[in-house]
Chains A and B, each alone.
Chain A
Amino acid sequence: MPLPSTWPTEVESSRLAADLLAGRATASGEIATTFLVPLTNHLRRRFPSADSAQCETAASDALLKTVQPPIRFDPSQLTLGAFLRMVARRKMATLFARDNRHPKKISLEFVAEPIDHRNHSRDDDVPSWDDPRLTTEAAAFNTTETAVLELMRRGVRKRAAFATIPGLAGVTPNELAAEVKRYKDRIKKRLSRAVGGDK
């Protein structure tokens, strides 16, 4: 029996949410069958580096958790679909964190400066920024680090660009060069550690 692969309509979603909140015995089964495939597909798109089994497990975890008391879903805050996507993404982060206990070496070429601006292209097998370990680590950066990382990701090397960053402005060219290098080294180190490399 094929399961629906698209998100339910707003009306259908509201009905399922109402059934869940009313404690209807069939609500959990209906929600599971309605949302399992679209939720799994959402995770696959959102986390392209994750394998299918991880996405399916996270989607199942999210569904099984959401339909059980205590019901944390509040229809005045989010639709049922949006709530499930949020829970499922957190489950994915948990799965990634669990995998991170057994770290594997991942190339950090994606944050390294291009050796030559000409003919530079991104390597396709580098880790994705969908990896929650990277995004979590980057989210903890201060304003200056965030701005430096952004320029690094864009491949910007001109010092003048870095001189506009709050925290790096108003210093001599030599001091700026040293500061930029220090920030870049620190960022690379932190991101490397976040994905389990450079212990």
Chain B
Amino acid sequence: MNDTSLERMARRASTDPFFLGFRLAEYSRVHELDEATLAGRLGCEAEVLPMIRLCRAARTDPAGFREDVTCVAEKFGLNSRALAEASKLGVVAIRQEHASVEAPGVLLAARDRKDS
């Protein structure tokens, strides 16, 4: 049960933006990657992915982002450039989501155009 229970937990974590799994899921979805391909890009075995997914997502400020990506990459022996790429995409996606939710002016403008 060990591996599967960790995988189940990692899948749950991947629905939460707090965890790195959220960004990796977004990256995989956009690039249509399966588990093995994602693991290959990051430079690890697929069985390590659940542990990576359960790590905290990299902070969004440049220094924090670099530090967190390096920390995770060193811990699991990952390609830090690939990990940064996967994490960056998530940052953009989250910012876009927040922008659409937090900027009422944008929504109002869209409605105005639709109504006219």
Contact = CB atoms under 8 A, between A and B. Distances in A.
Interface residues of A, number: 24
A28 B19 contact: yes
Interface stretch (B34-42, B50-58, B108-116): B50-58
Contacts of B2: 2-3, 5, 37
A5 B1 CA distance: 11
Contacts of B99: none
Contacts of B5: 3, 36-37, 40, 56, 60
Contacts of B71: 24-26
Nearest to B69: A25
14 contacts: A1-B3, A1-B47, A24-B71, A25-B55, A26-B71, A29-B53, A29-B55, A30-B51, A32-B6, A32-B9, A33-B51, A63-B9, A68-B16, A68-B18
A192 to B, nearest CB: 35
B91 interface: no
Given A1-B47, A29-B51, A64-B16, A36 B58 contact: no
